[in-house]
């Protein structure tokens, strides 16, 4: 083994691989913190931006892509592509939407994650993952395809508000995508295995400080500008109002005529059955709430039967479902953005990521799944920086599904604690990097292989 390779294996802080400072001139239309993050990410070459919803990740990634010396591919959720193209026009940056390699003509190309297999990734010098939490599942086929496809891409940027919604170790997927460390290397260096379950890992106490230094060497974390020492003017979120609506178990039991429904649903099968049993009551209550209002609403559901019945009972509504084609989904999500649709009915899995819907401040969930990230992201389509009104979130759920709601609340509390902990540990390091209080230093890279003198070889 060469000594240079040995040193590289031992280093913890990831060294920069990007563009020199003198070559970076960021558009002044960006806020100061956005300009500094974009400049830092360009110096890094491979970086992650973990920033709250509405903090301008789209502007940051477009400025980053503009300065990359070659063609850049942006991967984004459905309909976010056209939204990104609109944002590009504000910066006078041309972004071309393509679905396959043969259509590529421009420097910056954007497509949906579902279209990745249609592209020759070797033709791109840079890649951006918009809503990069898509790679959080370490065993997922999408995660593996993305990491393998861009293993040799020189410049990489990952942007998301939810980098690790459940556990610190999920950050290993971002590190692996950026080519910093594999997930298994990160676990062995900073984590210890707890118990007999392979999924139980915790951060080593003695390695905690080094872990945060390592993370802050390639990722910036913020929930608001002041987390990094900037002014919060224009980035204060309006009030969020929660309204819980519970469908009585007794009313469902009376309809079904079976006493067994008096118990809470505990298993997945029981929860699904409880959801089907309360379908009509939940939809009716949702329609009653919305039809009395003259405002714009987003209605989130999870079952096709819910969506179909909601569309029939809610005035001025349109449903986007999984079986609809790309053109229908995309055009109607943008139509909702432009206030051409008053009540949109869809699933978090379809439209819960990436869209900027500050034009709406009323959200209603006709039931919940067990995914806190889906719930968080769905609310954040409206409750994001740039929203001018108080946001009202309604949750309609049967009493029998109480464990689901309690589970979401528990995950929400855990996720909030984790985000605050990440910001607390990283903000001083990130702040120094962004404000140029420290220098990015290339580690010593010897060109001649070290040889031991003869008298030591005995």
Q: Is the pLDDT of residue 347 over 80?
A: yes
Q: How confident is the model at residue 265 (pLDDT cuts 50, 70, 90)?
A: low
Host domain of residue 222: 3-232
Task: Give the residue with greater pLDDT, 305 vs 399.
Answer: 305
What six digits make up the tokens of 191? 């984590």
Q: Is residue 99 part of a domain?
A: yes
CA distance 293 to 7: 65
Domain boundary among 212, 232, 252: 232
| CATH classification at residue 104 | 3.40.50.10810
* 97 band by pLDDT with thresholds 50, 70 and 90: very high
**Same domain assignment for residues 335 and 378:** yes
Predicted local confidence at residue 188, as pLDDT: 86
Residue 386 lies in a domain: yes
Residues 227 and 260 occupy one common structural domain: no
Same domain, 205 and 295: no
Please state the rounded mean pLDDT for residues 307-312: 96
In a domain, 210, yes or no: yes
Residue among 384, 381, 370 nearest 412 (CA): 370
Query: Measuring CA to CA, which residue among 150, 107, 117 is closest to residue 132?
Result: 150
Please, which pLDDT band fits residue 44 given cuts at 50, 70 and 90? very high
**pLDDT level of residue 58 (50, 70, 90 thresholds):** very high
pLDDT at 442: 45
**Whether residue 199 sits in one domain with residue 151:** yes
In the predicted model, what is the mean pLDDT of the chain?
85
pLDDT band at 437 (very low <50, low <70, confident <90, very high): very low
Residues 214 and 361 in one domain: no
List residues bridging with 111 in a β-sheet: 75
Residue 343's domain is classified under what CATH number? 3.40.50.300
Looking up tokens 């890649």 gives 127
Q: Which of 396, 411, 426 is the last residue of a domain?
A: 411
Q: Are residues 335 and 353 in the same domain?
A: yes
pLDDT band at 11 (very low <50, low <70, confident <90, very high): low
Residue 209's CB is within 10 A of a number of other CB atoms, namely: 10
Tell me what pLDDT residue 139 has. Answer: 62
Looking at 187, 215, 232, which one is the last position of a domain? 232
| 316 and 195 share one domain | no
Residue 390 confidence (pLDDT): 97
Q: How many domains does the chain have?
A: 2
Q: What are 232-255's pLDDT values in tens digits?
A: 998 999 999 999 998 886 655 555
pLDDT band at 199 (very low <50, low <70, confident <90, very high): low
Label each residue of the chain as H, E or C: CCHHHHHHHHCCCCCCCCCCHHHCCCCCCCCHHHHHHHHHHHHHCEEEEEECCCCCHHHHHHHHHHHCCCCEEEEECCCHHHHHHHHHHHCCCCCEECCCHHHCCCCEEEEEHHHHHHCCHHHCCEEEEECHHHHCCCCCHHHHHHHHHCCCCCEEEEEECCCCCCCHHHHHHHHHHCCCCCHHHHHHHHEEECCCCCCCEEECHHHHHHHHHHHHCCEEEECCHHHHCCCCCCCCCCCEEEEEEEECHHHHHHHHCCHHHHCCCCCHHHHHHHHHHCHHHHHHHHHHHHHCCCCCEEEECCCHHHHHHHHHHCCCEEECCCCCCHHHHHHHHHHHHCCCCCEEEECHHHHCCCCCCCCCCEEEEECCCCCHHHHHHHHHCCCCCCCCCCEEEEEEEEHHHHHHHHHHHHHHHHHHHHHHHHHHHHHHHHHHHHCCCCCCCCCCCCCCCCCCCHHHHC
Of the chain, the percentage scoring pLDDT greater than 70 comes to 85
69/130 same-domain check: yes
- Do 215 and 262 belong to one domain? no
Q: What is the pLDDT of residue 36?
A: 93
Q: Is 249 exposed, middle or buried (0-12, 13-18, 19+ CB in 10 A)?
A: buried
The answer to whether residue 15 sits within a structural domain is yes
- Per-range mean pLDDT, top range of 2-16, 103-117, 139-153, 416-430: 103-117
Co-location of 125 and 107 in the same domain: yes
Residues 223 and 252 in one domain: no
41 pLDDT exceeds 90?
Answer: yes
Q: Let me know if residue 214 belongs to a domain.
A: yes
Residues 15 and 89 both lie in one domain: yes
């Amino acid at each position: 083994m060469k000594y240079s390779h040995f040193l590289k294996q031992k280093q913890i802080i990831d060294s920069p691989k990007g563009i020199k400072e003198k070559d970076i001139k960021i558009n002044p239309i960006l806020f100061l913190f956005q300009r500094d993050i974009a400049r830092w990410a360009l110096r890094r070459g491979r970086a992650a931006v973990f920033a709250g919803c509405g903090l301008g990740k789209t502007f940051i990634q477009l400025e980053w892509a503009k300065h990359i010396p070659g063609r850049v591919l942006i991967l984004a959720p459905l309909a976010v592509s056209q939204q990104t193209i609109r944002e590009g026009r504000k910066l006078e940056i041309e972004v071309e939407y393509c679905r396959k390699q043969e259509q590529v003509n421009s420097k910056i190309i954007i497509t949906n994650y579902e279209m990745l297999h249609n592209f020759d990734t070797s033709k791109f010098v840079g890649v951006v993952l918009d809503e990069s939490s898509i790679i959080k599942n370490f065993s997922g086929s999408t995660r593996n395809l993305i990491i393998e496809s861009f293993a040799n891409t020189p410049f990489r940027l990952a942007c998301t508000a939810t980098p690790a919604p459940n556990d610190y170790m999920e950050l290993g997927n971002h590190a692996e995508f950026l080519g910093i460390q594999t997930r298994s290397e990160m676990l062995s260096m900073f984590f210890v295995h707890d118990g007999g379950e392979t999924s139980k890992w915790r951060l080593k106490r003695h390695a905690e400080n080094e872990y945060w230094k390592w993370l802050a060497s390639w990722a910036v974390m913020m929930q608001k500008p002041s987390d990094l020492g900037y002014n919060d003017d224009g980035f204060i979120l309006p009030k969020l109002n929660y309204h819980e609506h519970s469908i009585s178990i007794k009313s469902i039991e009376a309809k079904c005529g079976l006493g067994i429904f008096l118990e809470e649903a505990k298993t997945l099968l029981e929860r699904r059955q409880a959801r089907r049993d309360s379908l009509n009551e939940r939809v009716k209550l949702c329609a009653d709430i919305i039809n009395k209002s003259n405002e714009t609403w987003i209605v989130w559901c999870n079952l096709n039967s819910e969506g179909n019945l909601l569309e029939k009972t809610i005035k001025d509504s349109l449903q986007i479902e999984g079986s609809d084609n790309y053109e229908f989904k995309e055009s109607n999500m943008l139509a909702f953005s432009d206030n051409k649709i008053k009540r949109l009915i869809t699933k978090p899995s379809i439209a819960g990521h990436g869209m900027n819907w500050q034009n709406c401040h009323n959200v209603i969930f006709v039931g919940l799944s067990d995914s806190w990230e889906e719930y968080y992201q769905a609310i954040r389509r409206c409750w994001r920086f740039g929203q001018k009104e108080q946001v009202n979130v309604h949750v309609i759920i049967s009493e029998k599904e109480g464990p689901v709601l309690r589970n979401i609340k528990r995950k929400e509390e855990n996720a909030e604690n984790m985000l605050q902990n990440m910001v607390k540990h990283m903000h001083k390091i990130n702040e120094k990097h962004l404000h140029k209080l420290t220098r990015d230093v290339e580690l010593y890279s010897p060109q001649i292989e070290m040889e031991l003198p003869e008298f030591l070889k005995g």
